[in-house]
Amino acid sequence: MKVNPELIDEIKKYGAFDISACFNCGNCTAVCPLSKEDASFPRKLIRAGHVGMEEMVSSAIEPWHCYYCGECSSTCPREAQPGEYMMALRRYLIAKYDITGLSKVFYKTGWLQTWLTAGLFAAVLWLYNSYTGDFGALAGKIEMAFPVYVTIALGGYVLNMYRYAIVKPLGGIKATFKPTPIIETFIHGFTQKNINGCEEPDLVRWISHLLVMSGYTLTLVISNLHLLEPLNRLYGAFSPVSLLVWYAGLAIIVGGGSMSLRRIFKSSESSKFSHPSDWLFVVMMFLIGASMLATQYVNVTQGPASPLLAALYRVNIAIETVWIILVVPFTKWIHIFFRPLAVYFQHVKKEAAAGTAFTLQLGGSK
């Protein structure tokens, strides 16, 4: 097996600065409520990092099972922050799955992405402000282009994750089409139900995540189906579109606000350390929710001809454009897809070990 002696130093560049203090006692795995026999972490992956087992680390799906409850970090006798190591591994893996190599650059130099985002946002806003045509129609075209861009970016990630997690280590294309793993994958994706497996479930964190995720998914639906035309139509406060916007905006603001406060006050083990990309994520989410709510509020109260509405809608579209181009494909947002996929891949691995997985071979399939 190929050994990379630089591996642990490479992982440290994604966070997890204290992990060299680990003396391999195994306490973290013993207390981790989510670690199981067939998905054991975090000690095994810490050890793999230290001894340079790059293939094992690159094919790991365990970091996506971790909910960063922090129970391992608070009981580690060496204060090696194993929970933070799992987060660093997630960043490391995202950089691996990303075919453009941009995630790697952004994660290693977090400030770069923050400044690039601010610069791009200013440039997009300037372009929109200079635009003298039908801005509503332009916004509609941009909103319809988003799904194509996101689908291409996501497709690349998913295929690469599959290559690293299944094809390479298992030596071929394996899958399972049984209903149970597929249903479980969706349930985990929408509810993050494993967080309740933690010994002291952090309900505030779970609800905040749920609010942000549901609010953001709804925002994507509103944008991608081009449901909102605030410059062309007057909406009633309780019209179906307004109700969707109120929920999506408020859910993002409340959930994102709660996440930001936890990071500011470092109120739990999971919010003690913040990578610049974590801040970028919560701040951008907050801005999307606030600008969308403000746009809808002005439409309802002042009508579509209001100059304030036109200005707010430009800001909202500028933020969403930058978010989709730069933040969604290259940072932590993408993890909402990797977590459920990890659940599915875990089933595939189990079935492959038992010899019952669907296997695509050159000569046919079984």
Q: Which spans of this chain sit near ligand SF4 (rule: CB under 6 A)?
A: 22-28, 32, 34-35, 41-43, 46, 66-72, 76-78, 80, 82-83, 86
- Residue 364's DSSP bridge partners are 361
- Smaller CB separation from ligand SF4, 42 or 257: 42
Integer-rounded Cα Rg, in Å, for the chain is 22
State the nearest-atom distance from the C-beta of 182 to ligand SF4, in Å.
24
Q: Closest separation between CB of residue 66 and ligand SF4, Å? A: 3
Crossing angle of the two packed helices 276-302 and 110-130, in degrees rounded to 10: 20
Nearer of residues 86 and 212 to ligand SF4, judged by Cβ: 86
User: Is 195 or 252 the residue whose CB approaches ligand SF4 more closely?
Assistant: 195
Q: How far is the CB of 194 from ligand SF4 (least distance, A)?
A: 8
Q: Exposed e or buried b for every residue in 125-164, given b needs 16+ CB within 10 A? A: beebeeeeeebbeebbebbeebeeebeebeeebeebbbbb
CB of 84 to ligand SF4, least distance (A): 9
Looking at the Cβ atoms of 26 and 119, the one nearer to ligand SF4 is 26
Rounded to the nearest 5°, which phi and psi values hold at 202?
-90, 90
Of 23 and 177, which CB lies nearer to ligand SF4 in the complex structure?
A: 23
Q: Round to whole Å and give the CA distance between 180 and 346.
A: 13
Q: Which is nearer to ligand SF4, 72 or 326 (CB)?
A: 72
CB 39 within 8 A of CB 61: yes
Report the residue number, 39 or 287, with the smaller CB distance to ligand SF4.
Answer: 39
Task: Give the nearest distance from C-beta 123 to ligand SF4 in angstroms.
Answer: 39
Can you tell me the distance from the alpha carbon of 188 to that of 211, in angstroms, rounded to the nearest whole number? Answer: 15
97 within 8 A of 60, measured Cβ to Cβ: no
What minimum distance in Å lies between the beta carbon of 294 and ligand SF4? 37
Instruction: Supply the minimum distance, in Å, between the C-beta of residue 174 and ligand SF4.
Output: 26
The 3-state secondary structure of 254-277 reads HHHHHHHHHHHHCCCHHHCCCCHH
If we measure between CA atoms, which residue out of 100, 35, 104 comes closest to residue 65? 35
Nearest to 271 by CA among 23, 44, 69: 69
Q: Closest approach of Cβ 88 to ligand SF4, in Å?
A: 12
140 or 340, CB closer to ligand SF4? 340
Comparing C-alpha atoms, which of 204, 223, 231 is closest to residue 306? 231
